[in-house]
Amino acid sequence: MQIGVLGGTGPAGSGLAARLASLGHDVVAGSRDPAKADAVVGEIHERWGDRVATLRGGANADAATCDLVVLATVWDGLVATAAEFADALAGRPVVAMGNGLVKVGREFHPVLPAEGSISQAVQAAAPDAKVVAAFQHVPAAAFADLDHPLESDVVVCSDHDDARETVLDLVAAMPNLRAFDAGSLLHAVGIESFAAVLLSLNIRHKGKGTLRFLGLEGYGA
């Protein structure tokens, strides 16, 4: 699959881009500054070599025209980025992976927009895109470390059945990840809010906990 990552030079974007390329996808790591994208991709190539041979840098505009697009900018820039590229994103599956979070003392609090969730706000900003909420609970560092398998369950929701199934298939094909179909985009509110709970638990219990569902088989199992 040809996958574009808008904000592909940040920790989450570059990590996910490297992971997807290591699985054989043709990945464009986009940036507002194409030279920065090329530099970051060069560092990834230097570290992982042929394992990420299908990864290249480009402008966000290049990434926005791929078969599937991931919005991986910082969470408070996600909606503006979706609005900026709304025309290019029309008709495409668009993964929103951001969580609105603010750190208060030894815990995180969720920040939710008027639309209900960041993902729903992205859908409002790019109404003709097929927005899918996914990857909210996978740490950026885990994506980037190709020597270690990912260990998490990924909840996927969207108002567009075909786009949701495309992302479920993508997740299920990533070793050690399990994908779960959560239905409509309305449920992104709970998904994004729980990220604050998970990070707060990690702070208070001094660990790196991930999300796992007991008693359920993942999508495609």
**Percent over 70 (pLDDT), the chain:** 100
Per-residue pLDDT reduced to its tens digit, 59-94: 999 999 999 999 999 999 999 999 999 999 999 999
Q: Is the pLDDT of residue 140 over 90?
A: no
* Residue 218, C-beta contacts closer than 8 angstroms, at least 6 positions apart: 153, 172, 178, 179, 180
Mean pLDDT on 128-136: 98
Mean pLDDT on 17-37: 97
Per-residue pLDDT reduced to its tens digit, 53-68: 999 999 999 999 999 9
| Structural contact between residues 101 and 108, judged by C-beta atoms closer than 8 angstroms | yes
Per-residue pLDDT reduced to its tens digit, 104-131: 999 999 999 999 999 999 999 999 999 9
Q: Which CATH class is domain 2-205?
A: alpha beta
Determine if residue 105 is left, alpha or beta; phi over 0 gives left, psi from -120 to 50 gives alpha, anything else beta: left
> If we measure between CA atoms, which residue out of 73, 56, 67 comes closest to residue 6?
73
Mean pLDDT on 42-51: 97
Q: Is the pLDDT of residue 221 over 80?
A: no
**pLDDT classification of 220: cutoffs 50, 70, 90:** confident
**pLDDT classification of 208: cutoffs 50, 70, 90:** confident
Mean pLDDT on 154-164: 98
Distance in angstroms (rounded) separating the CA atoms of residues 56 and 171: 21
Mean pLDDT on 16-38: 97
Mean pLDDT on 185-210: 94
> If we measure between CA atoms, which residue out of 211, 26, 186 comes closest to residue 135?
211
pTM above 0.85, yes or no: yes
